[in-house]
């Protein structure tokens, strides 16, 4: 039995729990919804009865661009064979960024797709948040904050910095408490999808930052909020928030990679985080940690080639945690998957799968 938008009738959860208590055969109910239970509504945790599984937009490997030849599951087991080739290049990745991974949106004509993405955000502010008990006093300010957050994609920008970017020139800024409340609800509605920092247990790593890396659930939303299309991305258009280096296209490509890796990691029972030291001298875009604490470290590069400076942080991490780091990977826009002489795997995004 599929029950959609169950959170609008929270007692549905309790009825399902009692039905499972009466008959524990699994797989009888599927609860789908755009959010969890609203704050202040008390329901049973569902422990031992209900399992939560996040459903993110389609990963690149699920979009029909070709057949992946390198699996994240294999990388987590220490697989050494890396190979395969693809004809997918930078223009296709740019197209995939703006087309979205939402199945009902990506295949629409361009104009309809833009309208749907714009409507997605507008309905979120005007309908979804109020339906989930959130009062939005100034919708325009919240939309401006979302736009600034999108412009901070793939950064660790402080939330105060994002707020300042959203309200530049506005004397009557919303309070930090108000913005924090919006942020909490937007994350609960699966619109914000920040990547937490890696806090490894039993590790020699010290002085790691605790600031998450900012991502929306789909980089197409960030592109629409900022208002840059495929041609502009290829030209280098798009202002960023709190980014000292890199381009807007590079940030969105990293977000596309991160979104895909998170889909694959869920299938593998792994977690995804990022690594950054407090003095910012070491940073790794994606850390995948498997069920047995095995680690795959991933850097993202908007290029078809990989040079020694691109892998220096990966090799540093190997020196820190040794054999626990089972694979070092650079995800690129290139055509061929291979392993460098230093052991680093170079994998085009289109060739990476679950």
8 A C-beta contact, residue 252 and residue 229 = no
Work out the pLDDT band at 147, boundaries 50, 70, 90: very high
Once rounded to an integer, what is the mean pLDDT over residues 171-191? 84
Could you give the CA distance from residue 123 to residue 116 in angstroms, rounded to a whole number?
10
In this structure, the answer to whether residues 28 and 124 fall within a common structural domain is: no
In this structure, the answer to whether residues 144 and 272 fall within a common structural domain is: yes
Once rounded to an integer, what is the mean pLDDT over residues 258-285? 94
The pLDDT value recorded for residue 199 is: 87
Once rounded to an integer, what is the mean pLDDT over residues 84-110? 96
The pLDDT value recorded for residue 105 is: 96
Q: Which of 33-37, 106-110, 185-189, 218-222 has the lowest mean pLDDT?
A: 33-37
Last residue of a domain, one of 35, 52, 69: 52
Domain encompassing residue 40: 1-52
Per residue, the 3-state secondary structure of the chain, as one string, reads: CEEECHHHCCHHHHHHHHHHHHCCCCCCCEEECCCCCCCCCCCCCCCCCCCCCCCCCCCHHHCCCCCCCEEHHHHHCCCCCCCCECCCCHHHHHHHHHHCCCHHHHCCCHHHHHHHHHHHHHHHHHHHHHHCCCCCCCHHHHHHHHHHHHHCCCCCCCHHHHHHHHCCCCCCCCCHHHHHHHHHHHHHCCCECCECECCCCCCCCCCECCCCECCECCHHHHHHHHCCCHHHHHHCCCCCCCCCCCCHHHHHHHHHHHHHHHHHHHHHCCEEEEEEECCCCCEEEEEEECCCCCEEEEEECCCCCCCHHHHHHHHHHHHHHHHHEEEEEEEECCCECEECCCCCEEEEHHHEEC
**Beta-carbon contacts of residue 188 (< 8 Å; ≥ 6 apart):** 35, 36, 132
Question: Is residue 41 pLDDT above 70, yes or no?
Answer: no
Question: Is residue 126 pLDDT above 90, yes or no?
Answer: no
The pLDDT value recorded for residue 289 is: 97
Question: Is residue 146 pLDDT above 70, yes or no?
Answer: yes
Mean pLDDT computed over every residue of the chain: 91
Once rounded to an integer, what is the mean pLDDT over residues 113-129? 90
The pLDDT value recorded for residue 51 is: 86
Question: Is residue 140 pLDDT above 90, yes or no?
Answer: no
The pLDDT value recorded for residue 38 is: 61
In this structure, the answer to whether residues 89 and 46 fall within a common structural domain is: no
Token pair, residue 134, equals 């959130």
In this structure, the answer to whether residues 42 and 164 fall within a common structural domain is: no
Q: Which of 6-10, 275-279, 342-346 has the lowest mean pLDDT?
A: 6-10
Work out the pLDDT band at 170, boundaries 50, 70, 90: confident
Q: Which residue has the higher pLDDT, 353 or 183?
A: 353
The pLDDT value recorded for residue 295 is: 97
The pLDDT value recorded for residue 36 is: 63
* Buried b / exposed e along 267-281 (16+ C-beta atoms within 10 A): ebebebbbbbbeeee
In this structure, the answer to whether residues 263 and 145 fall within a common structural domain is: yes
Token pair, residue 10, equals 């929270």
In this structure, the answer to whether residues 81 and 158 fall within a common structural domain is: yes
Last residue of a domain, one of 12, 27, 52: 52
In this structure, the answer to whether residues 28 and 77 fall within a common structural domain is: no
Question: Is residue 260 pLDDT above 80, yes or no?
Answer: yes
Q: Which residue has the higher pLDDT, 252 or 131?
A: 252
In this structure, the answer to whether residues 256 and 335 fall within a common structural domain is: yes
Question: Is residue 273 pLDDT above 70, yes or no?
Answer: yes
In this structure, the answer to whether residues 137 and 270 fall within a common structural domain is: yes
The pLDDT value recorded for residue 72 is: 98
In this structure, the answer to whether residues 214 and 309 fall within a common structural domain is: yes
The number of folded domains in the chain is: 2
Which of 164-173, 240-249, 284-293 is most confident?
284-293
Work out the pLDDT band at 34, boundaries 50, 70, 90: confident
């Amino acid at each position: 039995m599929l029950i959609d938008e169950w959170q609008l009738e929270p007692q549905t959860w309790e009825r399902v729990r009692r039905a499972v208590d009466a008959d524990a055969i699994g797989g009888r109910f599927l609860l789908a919804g755009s959010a969890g239970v609203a704050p202040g509504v008390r329901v049973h945790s569902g422990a031992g009865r209900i399992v939560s599984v996040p459903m993110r937009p389609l990963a690149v490997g699920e979009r029909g661009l070709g057949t992946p030849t390198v699996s994240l599951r294999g990388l987590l087991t220490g697989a050494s064979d890396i190979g395969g080739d693809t004809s997918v290049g930078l223009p296709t990745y740019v197209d995939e960024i703006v087309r979205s991974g939402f199945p009902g949106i990506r295949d629409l004509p361009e104009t309809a797709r833009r309208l749907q993405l714009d409507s997605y955000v507008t309905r979120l502010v005007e309908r979804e948040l109020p339906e989930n008990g959130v009062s939005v006093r100034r919708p325009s300010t919240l939309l401006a904050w979302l736009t600034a957050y999108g412009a901070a994609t793939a950064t660790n920008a402080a939330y105060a910095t994002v707020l300042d970017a959203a309200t530049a020139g506005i004397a009557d800024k919303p309070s930090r408490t108000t913005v924090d409340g919006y942020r909490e609800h937007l994350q609960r509605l699966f619109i914000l999808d920040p990547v937490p920092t890696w806090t490894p247990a039993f590790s020699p790593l010290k002085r790691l930052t605790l600031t998450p890396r900012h991502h929306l659930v789909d980089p197409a939303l960030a592109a629409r909020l900022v208002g840059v299309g495929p041609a502009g991305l290829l030209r280098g258009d798009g202002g960023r928030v709190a980014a000292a280096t890199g381009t807007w296209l590079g940030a969105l490509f990293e977000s596309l990679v991160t979104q895909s890796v998170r889909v694959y990691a869920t299938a593998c029972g792994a977690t995804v985080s990022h690594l950054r030291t407090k003095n910012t001298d070491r940073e790794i875009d994606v850390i995948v940690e498997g069920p047995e604490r095995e680690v795959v470290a991933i850097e993202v590069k908007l290029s078809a080639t990989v040079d020694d400076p691109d892998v220096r942080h990966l090799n540093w991490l190997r020196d820190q945690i040794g054999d626990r780091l089972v694979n070092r990977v650079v995800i690129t826009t290139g055509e061929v998957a291979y392993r460098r002489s230093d052991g680093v795997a170079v994998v085009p995004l289109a060739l990476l799968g679950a």
